Structure 1
Amino acid sequence: MNPSWRKPVGALFIVVLIVLWAVLIASFSSAIGALHPLAQALVYIVTGIVWIMPLKPLLRWMETGRWRA
Protein backbone atom coordinates (compact mmCIF):
# COMPACT_ATOMS: atom_id res chain seq x y z
CA MET A 1 0.00 0.00 0.00
CA ASN A 2 1.41 3.36 -1.06
CA PRO A 3 1.15 6.31 1.31
CA SER A 4 -1.30 8.99 0.22
CA TRP A 5 -0.33 12.63 -0.29
CA ARG A 6 -3.79 13.61 0.99
CA LYS A 7 -2.97 12.95 4.65
CA PRO A 8 -0.05 15.40 4.99
CA VAL A 9 -1.90 18.02 2.93
CA GLY A 10 -5.03 17.54 5.06
CA ALA A 11 -3.04 17.75 8.28
CA LEU A 12 -1.43 20.99 7.09
CA PHE A 13 -4.86 22.34 6.16
CA ILE A 14 -6.16 21.51 9.65
CA VAL A 15 -3.28 23.41 11.27
CA VAL A 16 -3.89 26.39 8.97
CA LEU A 17 -7.61 26.27 9.79
CA ILE A 18 -6.89 26.29 13.53
CA VAL A 19 -4.46 29.22 13.26
CA LEU A 20 -6.81 31.29 11.09
CA TRP A 21 -9.77 30.58 13.37
CA ALA A 22 -7.75 31.54 16.46
CA VAL A 23 -6.62 34.80 14.85
CA LEU A 24 -10.20 35.60 13.80
CA ILE A 25 -11.59 35.01 17.28
CA ALA A 26 -8.70 36.86 18.92
CA SER A 27 -9.44 39.88 16.72
CA PHE A 28 -12.80 40.12 18.49
CA SER A 29 -11.29 39.80 21.97
CA SER A 30 -11.97 43.39 22.99
CA ALA A 31 -15.66 43.09 22.08
CA ILE A 32 -15.94 39.68 23.73
CA GLY A 33 -14.07 40.96 26.80
CA ALA A 34 -16.73 43.63 27.30
CA LEU A 35 -19.43 40.99 27.72
CA HIS A 36 -20.62 39.48 30.98
CA PRO A 37 -18.33 36.58 32.02
CA LEU A 38 -21.05 33.99 31.40
CA ALA A 39 -21.66 35.41 27.92
CA GLN A 40 -17.91 35.28 27.30
CA ALA A 41 -17.86 31.64 28.29
CA LEU A 42 -20.76 30.91 25.95
CA VAL A 43 -19.05 32.71 23.05
CA TYR A 44 -15.80 30.82 23.57
CA ILE A 45 -17.59 27.48 23.95
CA VAL A 46 -19.55 28.01 20.74
CA THR A 47 -16.56 29.26 18.76
CA GLY A 48 -14.50 26.41 20.15
CA ILE A 49 -16.97 23.92 18.72
CA VAL A 50 -17.84 25.64 15.41
CA TRP A 51 -14.36 25.26 13.89
CA ILE A 52 -14.73 21.48 14.07
CA MET A 53 -17.62 21.43 11.54
CA PRO A 54 -15.48 21.50 8.37
CA LEU A 55 -13.30 18.70 9.68
CA LYS A 56 -15.66 15.80 8.91
CA PRO A 57 -15.59 16.29 5.11
CA LEU A 58 -11.87 17.05 5.25
CA LEU A 59 -11.10 13.88 7.22
CA ARG A 60 -13.28 11.87 4.83
CA TRP A 61 -11.34 13.32 1.89
CA MET A 62 -8.05 12.48 3.58
CA GLU A 63 -9.12 8.84 3.97
CA THR A 64 -11.08 8.17 0.78
CA GLY A 65 -10.33 10.96 -1.70
CA ARG A 66 -14.03 11.92 -1.80
CA TRP A 67 -15.66 14.89 -0.09
CA ARG A 68 -19.06 13.22 0.33
CA ALA A 69 -20.05 9.78 1.57
Structure 2
Amino acid sequence: MDHRASRPPNRTTLPPRLRKLIGTCLIILLVIVWALGAMALAQGRVTTLSAFWQFVAYVVLGIGWVVPAALLIRWMQKGDSKPETL
Protein backbone atom coordinates (compact mmCIF):
# COMPACT_ATOMS: atom_id res chain seq x y z
CA MET A 1 0.00 0.00 0.00
CA ASP A 2 1.37 3.38 -0.98
CA HIS A 3 1.19 5.90 1.87
CA ARG A 4 2.50 8.80 -0.22
CA ALA A 5 -0.87 9.30 -1.90
CA SER A 6 -2.63 10.04 1.41
CA ARG A 7 -0.04 12.58 2.61
CA PRO A 8 0.08 16.15 1.33
CA PRO A 9 3.33 17.10 -0.38
CA ASN A 10 6.00 18.22 2.07
CA ARG A 11 7.22 21.29 0.24
CA THR A 12 6.80 24.93 0.98
CA THR A 13 5.48 27.27 -1.66
CA LEU A 14 5.97 30.98 -2.02
CA PRO A 15 3.04 33.24 -1.26
CA PRO A 16 1.40 34.50 -4.48
CA ARG A 17 2.35 38.14 -3.86
CA LEU A 18 6.03 37.28 -3.36
CA ARG A 19 6.03 35.00 -6.42
CA LYS A 20 4.55 37.81 -8.53
CA LEU A 21 7.08 40.33 -7.22
CA ILE A 22 9.98 38.01 -8.02
CA GLY A 23 8.51 37.17 -11.43
CA THR A 24 8.00 40.83 -12.29
CA CYS A 25 11.60 41.65 -11.40
CA LEU A 26 12.82 38.69 -13.45
CA ILE A 27 10.75 39.74 -16.48
CA ILE A 28 12.16 43.26 -16.32
CA LEU A 29 15.68 41.82 -16.06
CA LEU A 30 14.95 39.43 -18.95
CA VAL A 31 13.78 42.24 -21.22
CA ILE A 32 16.81 44.40 -20.43
CA VAL A 33 19.33 41.58 -20.91
CA TRP A 34 17.55 40.32 -24.05
CA ALA A 35 17.47 43.81 -25.58
CA LEU A 36 21.17 44.40 -24.90
CA GLY A 37 22.10 40.98 -26.26
CA ALA A 38 19.93 41.43 -29.33
CA MET A 39 21.48 44.83 -30.04
CA ALA A 40 24.98 43.40 -29.69
CA LEU A 41 24.20 40.54 -32.07
CA ALA A 42 22.39 42.79 -34.53
CA GLN A 43 25.33 45.18 -34.73
CA GLY A 44 27.91 42.45 -35.10
CA ARG A 45 27.18 39.07 -36.58
CA VAL A 46 23.76 39.65 -38.14
CA THR A 47 25.06 42.38 -40.48
CA THR A 48 27.35 39.87 -42.21
CA LEU A 49 24.46 37.54 -43.15
CA SER A 50 22.44 37.51 -46.36
CA ALA A 51 19.17 39.47 -46.45
CA PHE A 52 17.01 36.36 -45.84
CA TRP A 53 19.00 35.26 -42.80
CA GLN A 54 19.07 38.82 -41.48
CA PHE A 55 15.27 38.83 -41.64
CA VAL A 56 15.10 35.50 -39.78
CA ALA A 57 17.61 36.71 -37.18
CA TYR A 58 15.71 39.95 -36.56
CA VAL A 59 12.42 38.07 -36.16
CA VAL A 60 13.98 35.65 -33.67
CA LEU A 61 15.75 38.43 -31.79
CA GLY A 62 12.59 40.53 -31.77
CA ILE A 63 10.12 37.97 -30.44
CA GLY A 64 12.39 35.36 -28.85
CA TRP A 65 11.97 36.85 -25.38
CA VAL A 66 8.27 35.95 -25.38
CA VAL A 67 8.82 32.24 -24.60
CA PRO A 68 10.86 32.74 -21.41
CA ALA A 69 8.52 35.55 -20.35
CA ALA A 70 5.50 33.29 -20.85
CA LEU A 71 7.11 30.60 -18.71
CA LEU A 72 7.75 33.17 -15.98
CA ILE A 73 4.16 34.40 -16.15
CA ARG A 74 2.88 30.83 -15.90
CA TRP A 75 5.05 30.32 -12.82
CA MET A 76 3.78 33.59 -11.32
CA GLN A 77 0.14 32.47 -11.76
CA LYS A 78 0.74 28.99 -10.30
CA GLY A 79 -1.18 28.37 -7.12
CA ASP A 80 -3.62 31.22 -7.44
CA SER A 81 -6.97 30.22 -5.99
CA LYS A 82 -8.94 32.12 -8.61
CA PRO A 83 -7.94 33.53 -11.97
CA GLU A 84 -7.83 37.30 -12.20
CA THR A 85 -10.04 38.90 -14.81
CA LEU A 86 -10.56 42.44 -16.01
Q: Structures share a fold, TM > 0.5? A: yes
Consecutive aligned runs of 4 or more in structure 1 exceeding 6 Å deviation: none
1:18-64 CA distance string (max 9 Å, x none): 11111112222222112233321210102223222222331121111
Unaligned 5+ residue runs, structure 1? none
Question: Which structure is richer in relative contact order (CA contacts within 8 A, separation 6 or more)?
Answer: 2
The root-mean-square deviation of aligned C-alpha atoms, in Å, is 1.9
Task: Measure, in 2, the Cα distance between the counterparts of 1:3 and 1:35.
Answer: 45
Residues 31 and 65 in structure 2, CA contact (< 8 A), matched pair in contact too: yes
Q: Percent identity?
A: 33
Task: Measure, in 2, the Cα distance between the counterparts of 1:6 and 1:54.
Answer: 16
Unaligned 5+ residue runs, structure 2? 1-14, 80-86
How far apart are 1:3 and its partner, in Å? 6.4
* TM superposition score normalised by structure 1: 0.69
- Asked whether 1:16 is paired with 2:29, we answer yes
* TM superposition score normalised by structure 2: 0.58
